[in-house]
Amino acid sequence: MPELIRIPDGELEPLLSRVLTARGTPADRADLTARIVADNQREGVHSHGLNRFPALVRGIAAGHVDPRADPARVAGTAALEQWDGALGLGPWNATQAMHRALTLAGQHGIGAVGLRRTNHWLRAGTYALQAAAAGRIGICWTNTMPLMPPWGGCTPRLGNNPLAIALPSSGEPLLVDLALSQFSNGRLEVLRRRAETLPVVGGLDAAGQPSRDPGAILASRRPLPIGHWKGSALAVALDALAAVISGGQSTHEIGRQATEQGVSQVFLALQPGHGAAAMVGAILDDLRASPPADPAAPVRAPGDARRARREECTRLGVPVDAAIWAEISTL
Amino acid sequence: MPELIRIPDGELEPLLSRVLTARGTPADRADLTARIVADNQREGVHSHGLNRFPALVRGIAAGHVDPRADPARVAGTAALEQWDGALGLGPWNATQAMHRALTLAGQHGIGAVGLRRTNHWLRAGTYALQAAAAGRIGICWTNTMPLMPPWGGCTPRLGNNPLAIALPSSGEPLLVDLALSQFSNGRLEVLRRRAETLPVVGGLDAAGQPSRDPGAILASRRPLPIGHWKGSALAVALDALAAVISGGQSTHEIGRQATEQGVSQVFLALQPGHGAAAMVGAILDDLRASPPADPAAPVRAPGDARRARREECTRLGVPVDAAIWAEISTL
């Protein structure tokens, strides 16, 4: 089981930013990326926080990610634009793209940006929350390399295509952020190391039988999409939308490369109508008031855990995997 | 098990339209609704075809659906508009709303319509396909009355909030159309009558244990969302988006009424870029070429079954549940 240590909150971002600038990343995008990595870690999304940072740095070193590139608009019709990410830093490109979608939504009520030739954006929720922080609705998704077999198939062919939706609320924004596999590979690896069984079926084993053994699913490369045939179809649709709206690569094209590079993403922003935040707040309150299956475990609304985690980081420091921290400290 | 009979394709729509006009429905919307019901039946979606038609007619008779009402624009900013469905016919309102979203997409690249105070639209896919038939991308979803417990809850609180996405392709459009419950109540009822076991876990029984028994899940009212906690969160987000974008009711408000009435829906249309249909065709071809788990069952692309079913209806007649047909013939 990974050993967690606590790093004082103020130390995290300067260190990450220094690692990136030492690899030739201009200060503005190094600071932004460091903030996004630290925020993901603070909100408990370790798989897309520090755990992924070494891979990002290796991507820069290997030339798969150009830390100096800037995304550029290549086409557009009023509220819908296509941007080229020039194989730059995923978090930088995605932040610019959502910023542009927000500007378009300010002008047209709704704005959409398709971003092609970009790289891993870390966590989908970051950019949906960017919209909510600006008082708007944010929806975004990305395609990925092939990670799951389609329904009826037995080899990876579909991306898990993470999707995030955020709405301003009377309290914390409502954030829903999900990959279309029931469990991410990162999560399966953590649970395999701990010798834990999955809480629900997460894939098929090598014999094609439903399995709750993370090791068996990693070995078979047959993780299940959420909802079986339903998530399989939804993954196809999100990939097609990302490729068509951005004019970029789809999962089957990304899969022909040696590494995941040049993915396609979509960013939607909408102006919410009058009273929207109160409406969302009432929906979340109704959810929290739902009779729980276990009287000791009240039903939580999306976002409830996030706030508590952030507050704990400010008070106690940010929890970090000791081995990952040791690796980052040598980068 | 229901007995299926075949009705000559040409007889279906005139009969359905006559039933609706006899209940005070103007001819234009009676014909449109009859066509949508018949098309859903032809494509094999019986639950949202003829099986639901008697309920629609009863809704008109009871005054829950006003067959003469017309939807009207109530607010808007350029590419984003809010419409009021005036508690009219769901398929008529939804068709008008997607038509308007398509017009907005023609002007702004993307168009969005939030439709409030509308009624059951039958099948989500109908309106996404309407966009694809116009050469555009269509995305639409609806909220519903409470049908599923949220994750950690034990009583229905979330809608199953059907979502449809369609893209023009080089062949049949790509259509993905899914409710967020693993199985619809209609499907559970059919399988219970046949004394069949579900192919995968579909809910929890009264003791809170995972179940593949459709009768046990109908009795407990605890169907599972797709992907467990993931579909639960997605259902909350789609409900919030529908309510906020339309300015209409959310699931918890619909649940306070005696019947499902005055639901909220969203219609998005986008102009696809150059070469989009070929890109989608290549994605579907890659899917069909995927190695199948069962060599006798090739992987299918969304849409493959639809076309074959329509062709069969033209040739052999439309398959109809004999009991439902007898009921409709007396309406």
- Same domain flag for A18 and A84: no
Query: B6-10: long-range contacts at Cβ-Cβ below 8 A with a sequence spacing of 24 or more?
Result: B6/B316, B6/B317, B6/B318, B6/B319, B6/B320, B7/B317, B7/B318, B7/B320, B7/B325, B8/B317, B8/B318, B9/B42, B9/B313, B9/B314, B9/B317, B9/B318
Instruction: Please give, rounded to a whole number of angstroms, the shortest distance from the CA of A131 to a CA of chain B.
Output: 14
**Cα torsion B40, B45, B46, B52: sign:** negative
Which residues of chain A make contact with B243, given a CB cutoff of 8 A?
279, 283
- Answer for the pair A263, A120: CB distance below 8 angstroms, yes or no: yes
Q: In 3D, which of A35, A107, A100 has the Cα closest to residue A74? A: A100
pLDDT for B174 equals 96
> Mean pLDDT over residues B161-176, rounded?
96
Mean per-residue pLDDT of chain B: 95
- Same domain flag for B60 and B194: no
Instruction: Please give, rounded to a whole number of angstroms, the shortest distance from the CA of A248 to a CA of chain B.
Output: 10
Query: Which residues of B have a catalytic role annotated?
Result: 48
pLDDT for B210 equals 93
> Mean pLDDT over residues A97-119, rounded?
98
Residue owning tokens 């080089």: B170
Model confidence band, residue B283 (pLDDT cutoffs 50, 70, 90)? very high
Residues A231-273 have pLDDT tens digits of 999 999 999 999 999 999 999 999 999 999 999 999 999 999 8
- Same domain flag for B224 and B142: yes
Residues B187-240 have pLDDT tens digits of 898 889 889 999 999 999 999 999 999 999 999 999 999 999 999 999 999 999
Which residues of chain A make contact with B284, given a CB cutoff of 8 A?
236
pLDDT for B193 equals 85
Q: Chain A neighbours among B 105-134 (CB < 8 Å)? A: 107-112, 114
Nearest to A290 among B78, B153, B231 (CB): B153
Other Cβ atoms less than 10 A from the Cβ of B39: the count is 20
The pLDDT of residue B163 is above 80 = yes
Which residues of chain B make contact with A298, given a CB cutoff of 8 A?
152
Q: Chain A neighbours among B 73-92 (CB < 8 Å)? A: 75-82
CB burial of B45-69 (b: ≥16 within 10 Å; e: otherwise) equals: bbbbbbbbbeebbebbeeebbbbeb
Which residues of chain B make contact with A148, given a CB cutoff of 8 A?
none
Interface membership of A218 toward B (CB under 8 Å): no
pLDDT for A314 equals 92
pLDDT for B72 equals 98
- Same domain flag for B83 and B59: no
- Same domain flag for B185 and B254: yes
- Same domain flag for B150 and B261: yes
Phi, psi of B121 (to 5 degrees): -90, 10
pLDDT for B111 equals 98
Does the residue B147 lie in any domain? yes
Distance, in Å, from the CA atom of A127 to the CA atom of A36, rounded to the nearest integer, reads: 10
Strand partners, A321: A4
> Mean pLDDT over residues A26-36, rounded?
97
- Same domain flag for A50 and A102: no
Both tokens assigned to A286: 């109704």
- Same domain flag for A323 and A237: no
B270, B287, B303 - which closes a domain: B270
Whichever domain contains B203, its CATH number is: 3.30.1370.60
Residue to test with chain B: of A169, A178, A221, A290, most B Cβ within 10 A: A290
Residue to test with chain B: of A241, A271, A288, most B Cβ within 10 A: A241
**Cβ pairs A/B, distance under 8 A:** 243
Q: Active-site residue among A46, A48, A64, A120?
A: A48
Does the residue B284 lie in any domain? no
Q: Chain A neighbours among B 133-162 (CB < 8 Å)? A: 137, 139, 149-155, 157
Instruction: Please give, rounded to a whole number of angstroms, the shortest distance from the CA of A35 to a CA of chain B.
Output: 26
Which residues of chain B make contact with A282, given a CB cutoff of 8 A?
250, 252
Asked if the Cβ–Cβ distance from A233 to B178 is below 8 Å, we say yes
Residues B30-73 have pLDDT tens digits of 999 999 999 999 999 888 899 899 999 999 999 999 999 999 99
Asked if the Cβ–Cβ distance from B80 to A110 is below 8 Å, we say yes
Asked if the Cβ–Cβ distance from B178 to A252 is below 8 Å, we say no
- Same domain flag for A207 and A89: yes
Asked if the Cβ–Cβ distance from B109 to A76 is below 8 Å, we say yes
Asked if the Cβ–Cβ distance from A110 to B110 is below 8 Å, we say yes
pLDDT for B1 equals 59
Region of poorest pLDDT, from A135-144, B93-102, B184-193: B184-193
ipTM of the complex: 0.97
B235, B252, B270 - which closes a domain: B270
- Same domain flag for A87 and A202: yes
Asked if the Cβ–Cβ distance from A237 to B300 is below 8 Å, we say no
> Mean pLDDT over residues A98-118, rounded?
98
pLDDT for A1 equals 60
- Same domain flag for A120 and A259: yes
pLDDT for A166 equals 98
Domain range for residue A169? Answer: 80-270
Does the residue A296 lie in any domain? no
Asked if the Cβ–Cβ distance from A237 to B270 is below 8 Å, we say no
**Cα torsion B92, B95, B98, B102: sign:** negative
Please tell me the total count of domains within chain B: 2
User: Measured at the alpha carbon of residue B276, what is the angle toward residues B114 and A124, in degrees to the nearest 5?
Assistant: 60
Q: Chain A neighbours among B 174-213 (CB < 8 Å)? A: 174, 176, 178, 180, 182, 200-201, 208, 210
Return the C-alpha torsion angle B185, B191, B192, B195, nearest 10. Answer: -170
Among all residues of chain B, which has the CA nearest to that of A279?
B244
> Mean pLDDT over residues A115-121, rounded?
98
Where would I find the H helices in chain A?
9-22, 27-42, 53-61, 90-108, 125-133, 185-193, 214-220, 229-246, 251-254, 276-288, 304-316, 322-329
Does the residue A293 lie in any domain? no
Asked if the Cβ–Cβ distance from B233 to A287 is below 8 Å, we say no
Q: Chain A neighbours among B 278-317 (CB < 8 Å)? A: 279-280, 282-284, 286-287, 290-294, 297-302
The pLDDT of residue A2 is above 80 = no
Residue owning tokens 């555009």: B136
Does the residue A289 lie in any domain? no
Give A65's contacts (C-beta < 8 A, 6+ positions apart).
Answer: A56, A59, A87, A88, A89, A90, A119, A261
Whichever domain contains A17, its CATH number is: 1.10.1530.10
Does the residue A197 lie in any domain? yes
Instruction: Please give, rounded to a whole number of angstroms, the shortest distance from the CA of A24 to a CA of chain B.
Output: 35
Which residues of chain B make contact with A254, given a CB cutoff of 8 A?
none
pLDDT for A64 equals 95
Which residues of chain B make contact with A286, given a CB cutoff of 8 A?
157, 252
Distance, in Å, from the CA atom of B101 to the CA atom of B93, rounded to the nearest integer, reads: 12
Nearest to B230 among A153, A178, A228 (CB): A178
Does the residue B38 lie in any domain? yes
Region of poorest pLDDT, from A201-205, B2-6, B142-146, B280-284: B2-6
- Same domain flag for B168 and B212: yes
Strand partners, A90: none
Does the residue A185 lie in any domain? yes
Nearest to B290 among A109, A150, A201 (CB): A150
Distance, in Å, from the CA atom of A239 to the CA atom of A233, rounded to the nearest integer, reads: 10
Residues A258-314 have pLDDT tens digits of 999 999 999 999 999 889 999 999 999 999 999 999 999 999 998 788 888 999 999
Asked if the Cβ–Cβ distance from A227 to B174 is below 8 Å, we say no
